[in-house]
Structure 1
Amino acid sequence: MKRSAIINVVGLTRSLIGAHTPAIKGFLEKHSCQVIKPAFPAVTCTAQSTYLTGKQPNEHGIVGNAWYDREYDELRFWKQSNRLVQQPKLWEDIREEVPEFTCAKLFWWYNMYSSADYSITPRPMYPADGRKVFDIYTQPMGLRESIKQDLGEFPFPYFWGPMAGIESSAWIAKSAQWVETKYQPTLNLIYLPHLDYNLQRLGPNHPDIAKDLKEIDRVVGELLDFFTAHDIEVTLLSEYGITEVDQPIHLNRVFRKNGWITIKDELGLEQLDFGASKVFALADHQVAHIYVNDKSILSQVRQQIEQTDGVDQVLDAEAKTKYGIDHSRAGDLIAIAKPHAWFTYYYWEDDALAPDFARCVDIHRKAGYDPVELFIDPKLSLPKLKVAKFLLKKKLGFRALMDVIPLDASLVRGSHGRIPENENDWPVLIGPQVSEGNQPINATKVYSKLKASILS
């Protein structure tokens, strides 16, 4: 069997391939390219699960990057167990036909306790003294120390947060080459997130995006050369396209004005009490899951959302079925933003009362995805010095709070989640797959395309 590599270049669209991406453009010219109608919602965890199972969220269960656990009355945000994906994965199905098939899964999500033969995923350690120690999780377990010895520590601050940049994608690309050299997997799944950062910070039309395109093209080009030299067939793939936005929507503040949100005072700061609230919104880019604990106000909630500026539509039970997201993890209602808008998780009305984690990179405790974590508060004096002091304290083993994130959602200029109106903003599949002409393919069809290419 031939060996394959699938490189997931997050945020890549046809509109971004050009003069600034000579390696990707050259690869495109040699192969077929199909535009993909994105999974819904068009977010990381849903898109990847759809590609790897060929199913919609109502079957694989990944309704977004997060959902509300109604039994625990807690959010499940950016969880990592592969068992959360409720359908067989691509490599598992291929193994049924080819038992000797092996798979490396590098930084794709749901990468802990996976049935993949080799996996690497970001996973901090949390000692009892309250520190957060940057690290990775690997399978086999011993791979963790050997790859760090050869490549150095994974540059975690560059993977997400105000320092996010090319360093993390470059390390992941090196790890793919390292795994190939050590283990020669039949399939190598590689996740390169670099374009995700400034496309959200600056928006896709900002002139500085040219630099990001050149940086990721260099990394992808090196991988293409490496895999070609090892006679490995490559497919380029992306999850979604990022479009310009200029309007944040604060649904939880709307619910609060209606008296539907319950706020708990914690050490003088406000904490949203999910279980005690009649309704709340779990924000996820341009989509928000609305969990209604008090079903008697369901119609009122829907009416209020529909009247909120920036909201495009609200999916009820029937519409969720049409969108393939009628799963028990999904919200009772799902709000979709207009093309230029996106949803925040904000619920406080006075920034002085915002919870302490609001000003930190804290992807698990917030009531939604927070792209403002990509910024350093412009109001801070000497912000780089503050970050340097924080990193030094962490290195020395002290507890520290990196509260440098602003609370100004208007800073965000790019988002995703809804299905973009322009197909040029849809993700792409580039490689040796049989083309179906110029017609886009549904995200669920990517699975069969990849499988057919691998087995051909």
Structure 2
Amino acid sequence: MAPLLVINVVGLTPRLLAHMPNVAKVGTAAALRPVLPAVTCSMQATLLTGAMPRDHGIVGNGWYFRDLGEVLLWRQHNALIQGDQLWTAIPGLRTANVCWWYAMGAPTDLLVTPRPIYHADGRKDPDCYTRPPSLHDDLETALGPFPLFTYWGPNAGITSSQWIIAAARRILTREHPDLLLVYIPHLDYDLQRHGPDGPEAIAAARAIDTALAPLLEEEAEIVVLSEYGITPASRPIDINRALRTAGLLEVYTQAGMEYLDPWTSRAFAVADHQVAHVYVRDPADLDHTRAVITELTGVDEVLDQAGKAKYGLDHERAG
């Protein structure tokens, strides 16, 4: 039986698919309705579990960890996803994960995930974490070091996607997994830098379509999907500034810089692209907080418990 290859081309939309002939040849396009919030971690957790954020607990790319008193984003451990996942759906299935999130500690046979080296003097070098450990040296010998600084940050570009594609092909042909999930980040970059409707977006779509061609020609059953599409945005909505003006948010200073103080703030927001989770320490402040946010231009909805339930977002981690 041919392996199943699932390729997550984040940011792919019908408009961009028209400029991607290699991807278009995979099969008939279908609409995929994302969850709220339509961000990487929440959508990938839903795709891995078939459940809503209320069940798997991934309410965004990060949230306020009440037991730690900290806002943490882009945590990597698989145990943060609650409930059963695709990796163990079929006993005996040999599985591989190349750069889908929440990879560390996942019950996969093979995995590759971005993981910098943090030195004692504060330097950060590019690298990745693999399972088994021998896979790291195999991929680095064949492909060079994982190009972390083109995976995210100001220099993000196609180099990282090309490395990921090459790694996926190597794993597919040498390790023979039954299920291989691959995350391709390139479309995210220029769409966020330049907007989704300009010539840069079309150029990015054509570039990644060309890069994907060898992987799409492998002997496998192939599914290409996307977590979300990017829509134009023209201005921010400064929720935390409004909460500070209203006397609900506090900051502390170090070296002349201000930092959010979640321990003493009565209310603050963890803003994450499409949504902001607003954490209110005392229920007595809920009405005041809701009134401040509702008045802000650009806010579409302010969800109470019933509103969160409507979108499958009523989890204890949510704001």
TM-score range with shorter-chain normalisation? over 0.9
Question: Structure 1 residue runs of 4+, over 6 Å off?
Answer: none
Q: Does 1:300 align with 2:288?
A: yes
Number of residue pairs matched by the alignment: 319
Conservation of the 8 A alpha-carbon contact between 2:53 and 2:312: yes
| Separation of aligned partners in 1, 2:244 and 2:127 | 38
Counterpart selection for 2:146 from 151, 154, 162:
154
User: What are the equivalent positions in structure 2 for 1:265-304 lying under 5 Å apart?
Assistant: 265-304=253-292
Conservation of the 8 A alpha-carbon contact between 2:45 and 2:81: yes
Supply the AA of the counterpart residue of 1:246: S
SS in 2 for 1:204: coil
Superposed CA offset, 1:108-131 (max 9, x none): 000101101100000112122222
Superposed CA offset, 1:355-413 (max 9, x none): xxxxxxxxxxxxxxxxxxxxxxxxxxxxxxxxxxxxxxxxxxxxxxxxxxxxxxxxxxx
Supply the AA of the counterpart residue of 2:25: G
Single out whichever of 126-135 and 168-177 deviates more from structure 2.
126-135
| Separation of aligned partners in 1, 2:89 and 2:79 | 15
**How far 1:21 sits from its partner (Å)?**
1.3
Q: Which residue of 1 aligns with 2:311?
A: 323
Q: Does 1:168 align with 2:198?
A: no
| Separation of aligned partners in 2, 1:2 and 1:151 | 26
Conservation of the 8 A alpha-carbon contact between 1:247 and 1:310: no
Q: Does 1:46 align with 2:42?
A: yes
Counterpart selection for 2:88 from 85, 92, 101:
92
Superposed CA offset, 1:290-347 (max 9, x none): 001132111110111010011111110111111101101100xxxxxxxxxxxxxxxx
Q: Which residue of 2 aligns with 1:127?
A: 119
| Separation of aligned partners in 2, 1:264 and 1:109 | 32
Conservation of the 8 A alpha-carbon contact between 2:191 and 2:200: no
| Separation of aligned partners in 2, 1:268 and 1:166 | 38
Q: Which residue of 1 aligns with 2:223?
A: 235
Conservation of the 8 A alpha-carbon contact between 2:246 and 2:292: no
Q: Which residue of 1 aligns with 2:22?
A: 23
Task: State the TM-score, normalized to the length of structure 2.
Answer: 0.98
SS in 1 for 2:198: coil
Conservation of the 8 A alpha-carbon contact between 2:115 and 2:128: yes
Task: State the TM-score, normalized to the length of structure 1.
Answer: 0.69
Conservation of the 8 A alpha-carbon contact between 2:35 and 2:311: no
Superposed CA offset, 1:205-232 (max 9, x none): 112222101111012222111x1xxx21
Conservation of the 8 A alpha-carbon contact between 1:68 and 1:75: yes
Structure 2 portions without partners, runs of 5+: none
Q: Does 1:81 align with 2:77?
A: yes
SS in 2 for 1:36: coil
SS in 2 for 1:40: coil
Conservation of the 8 A alpha-carbon contact between 2:97 and 2:112: yes
| Separation of aligned partners in 2, 1:141 and 1:317 | 44
| Separation of aligned partners in 1, 2:24 and 2:174 | 30
Q: Which residue of 1 aligns with 2:298?
A: 310
| Separation of aligned partners in 2, 1:302 and 1:165 | 40
Superposed CA offset, 1:166-211 (max 9, x none): 1111100000011123211111100001001111111111122221
| Separation of aligned partners in 1, 2:222 and 2:2 | 11
Single out whichever of 138-147 and 298-307 deviates more from structure 2.
138-147
| Separation of aligned partners in 1, 2:134 and 2:35 | 35
Q: Which residue of 1 aligns with 2:251?
A: 263
| Separation of aligned partners in 1, 2:304 and 2:143 | 49
Q: Which residue of 1 aligns with 2:10?
A: 10
Superposed CA offset, 1:46-85 (max 9, x none): 1011011100001111011001111110112100001111
Supply the AA of the counterpart residue of 1:110: Y
SS in 1 for 2:118: coil
